[in-house]
């Protein structure tokens, strides 16, 4: 059997066969890893008011604590995630979780604002590397029928982790202090690292195309776990199968899609991370007690979890492009409503819940979109660079919100301003011309 025929065989096996228990477990691990990332990112948001109080931070300085992690995520997406296309997804998971665990646990011992910023940067490096790798792994272990739903479902793990973090922080921070929340999150990351070391593996597509050491043995082990027959030999890959992934993003095949994805993720992250970072703090400034303000953040992420699951189902019927555009239009409208009506406590919870459904739920449609645009050999590079460029929006958003808030611009006006980038995200996705995205 030739190398090309074997590639086609493996692709058909994955695309057209029912998913085995092993494949479902791999997707579930990615879901749990994304829950862990939701915990690691949102713990700083839910503890922000206490951190600010201890070190007497302005809103601008508090914005920098949010953005420090996002700077790390940007660097991780650019420099760590692409290693998944060279070294394998499993090794990137391990490196990323080591960084996350170290960064979170050491916060418990830090005693200055500057140390905290450095540790948030380290944690962000790991998160930035792991997010694109999860999307690629879930895509490669899913059949064609369930691929978009599974990649979207993995992203739903993030708000689920954030919801758990909200309830935990509402109890633990008043009782034990904000550092305890970071210690707890670091312990969870350590458990995830052990799980990946024991169970995670690279995909058939990766093993066939890259052929690392013991590739045939690992392929046959994986085929057996998935309920398929083993192969007698592994043909040598042709020289041209090894490419330069970064330059490939700008080849005629991908150039147009790459630019539109970068624009979509940049503007989507700008608004998304602003909301995730500031919503609990805004609620507390509005007069809500700590526990109630934390639950506003929970409402945002509960909406996000539901929205992500709904998006996966809707996209299966109407396609990703129309679905993401529809969600972004709804998100834009609801944020305008939030910024232009008189709000009661009940109305805050309702509107924030629906903002979560359509803003984060809709944005999470970007991950299956990116995974479909790029082929296996450049998938984590393509997704990683898209997310990396988008992180500049994530860095800019929370800091810009803090600066504008300090300058006296009302929260209502800021919600209206930060709704505009969502329209740009929807339009970029709806105009993608990739043959793999409908």
Q: Does the domain made of 3-430 have the CATH classification 3.40.50.2300?
A: no
* Residue 286, pLDDT score: 65
Phi first, then psi, for residue 56 (nearest 5°) are: 50, 60
Dist. CA 340–CA 342, nearest whole Å: 7
Task: Check if the beta carbon of residue 153 is closer than 8 Å to that of residue 101.
Answer: no
* Residue 207, pLDDT score: 85
Domain boundaries, the chain: 3-430
Among candidate residues 152, 132, 139, 135, the one with its CA nearest the CA of residue 310: 152
* Residue 13, pLDDT score: 87
Phi first, then psi, for residue 184 (nearest 5°) are: -65, -45
Phi first, then psi, for residue 275 (nearest 5°) are: -65, -45
Dist. CA 49–CA 52, nearest whole Å: 5
**pLDDT truncated to tens, each residue of the chain (438 aa)?**
677 788 888 888 888 999 999 999 999 999 998 888 888 877 887 788 889 889 988 878 887 887 788 788 888 888 888 888 788 889 999 999 999 999 999 999 998 999 999 999 999 999 888 877 887 888 889 998 888 788 778 877 888 888 888 889 888 998 999 999 999 999 999 999 999 998 898 888 888 877 888 888 989 999 999 988 888 888 877 655 445 567 888 888 888 888 999 999 999 989 988 887 777 677 776 677 767 777 887 888 888 888 888 887 888 788 889 999 999 999 999 988 887 777 777 888 888 899 889 988 888 888 888 888 888 778 878 888 888 888 788 888 888 888 888 888 887 788 889 999 999 999 999 988 877 777
* Residue 85, pLDDT score: 78
Quickly count: other Cβ atoms within 10 Å of residue 298's Cβ.
Answer: 26
Quickly count: other Cβ atoms within 10 Å of residue 58's Cβ.
Answer: 13
- DSSP 3-state of 39: helix
- Show the tokens assigned to 196: 């990946």
- Show the tokens assigned to 351: 């509107």
Dist. CA 438–CA 263, nearest whole Å: 19
- Dihedral angle sign, alpha carbons of residues 303, 266, 90, 216: positive
Residues in the chain: 438
Task: Give the distance from CA 394 to its chain's centroid.
Answer: 12
* Residue 308, pLDDT score: 83
Task: Give 29's Cβ-side CA count (13 Å radius).
Answer: 26
């Amino acid at each position: 059997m030739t190398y090309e025929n074997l590639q086609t065989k493996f692709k058909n096996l994955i695309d057209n066969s029912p998913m085995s228990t092993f494949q479902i477990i791999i997707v579930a691990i990615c879901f749990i890893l994304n829950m862990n990332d939701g915990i690691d990112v949102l713990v700083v948001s839910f503890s922000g008011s206490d951190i600010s109080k201890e070190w007497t931070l302005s809103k601008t300085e508090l914005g920098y604590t949010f953005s420090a992690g996002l700077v790390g995520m940007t660097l991780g997406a650019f420099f760590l995630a692409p290693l998944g296309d060279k070294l394998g997804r499993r090794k990137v998971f391990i490196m990323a979780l080591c960084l996350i665990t170290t960064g979170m646990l050491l916060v418990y011992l830090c005693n200055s604002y500057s140390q905290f910023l450095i540790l948030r940067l380290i944690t962000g490096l790991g998160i930035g590397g792991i997010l694109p790798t999860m999307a690629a792994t879930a895509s490669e272990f899913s059949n064609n029928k369930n691929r978009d739903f599974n990649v979207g479902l993995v992203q739903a793990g993030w708000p689920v982790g954030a919801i758990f973090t909200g309830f935990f922080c509402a109890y633990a921070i008043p009782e034990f202090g904000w550092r305890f929340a970071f210690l707890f999150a670091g312990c969870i990351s350590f458990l995830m690292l052990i799980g990946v070391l024991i169970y995670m593996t690279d995909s058939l597509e990766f093993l066939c195309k890259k052929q690392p050491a013991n590739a045939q043995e690992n392929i046959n082990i994986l085929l057996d776990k998935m309920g398929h027959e083993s192969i007698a030999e592994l043909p040598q890959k042709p020289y041209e199968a090894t490419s330069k992934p970064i330059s490939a993003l700008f080849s005629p095949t991908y150039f147009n899609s790459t630019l539109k994805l970068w624009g979509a993720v940049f503007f989507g992250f700008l608004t998304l991370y602003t909301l995730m970072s500031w919503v609990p703090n805004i609620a507390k400034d509005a007069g809500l007690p700590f526990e109630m303000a934390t639950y506003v953040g929970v409402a945002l992420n509960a909406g996000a979890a539901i929205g992500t699951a709904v998006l996966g189902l809707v996209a299966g019927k109407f396609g990703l492009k129309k679905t993401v555009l529809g969600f972004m239009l709804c998100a834009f409208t609801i944020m305008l409503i939030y910024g232009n009506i008189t709000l009661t406590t009940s109305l805050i919870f309702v509107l924030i819940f629906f903002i979560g459904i359509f803003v984060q739920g809709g944005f999470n449609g970007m991950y299956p979109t990116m995974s479909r645009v790029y082929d296996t050999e450049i998938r984590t590079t393509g997704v990683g660079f898209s997310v990396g460029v988008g992180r500049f929006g994530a860095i800019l958003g929370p800091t810009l919100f803090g600066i504008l808030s300090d300058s006296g611009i009302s929260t209502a006006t800021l919600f209206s301003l930060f709704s505009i980038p969502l329209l740009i995200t929807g339009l970029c996705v709806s105009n993608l011309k990739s043959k793999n995205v409908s």
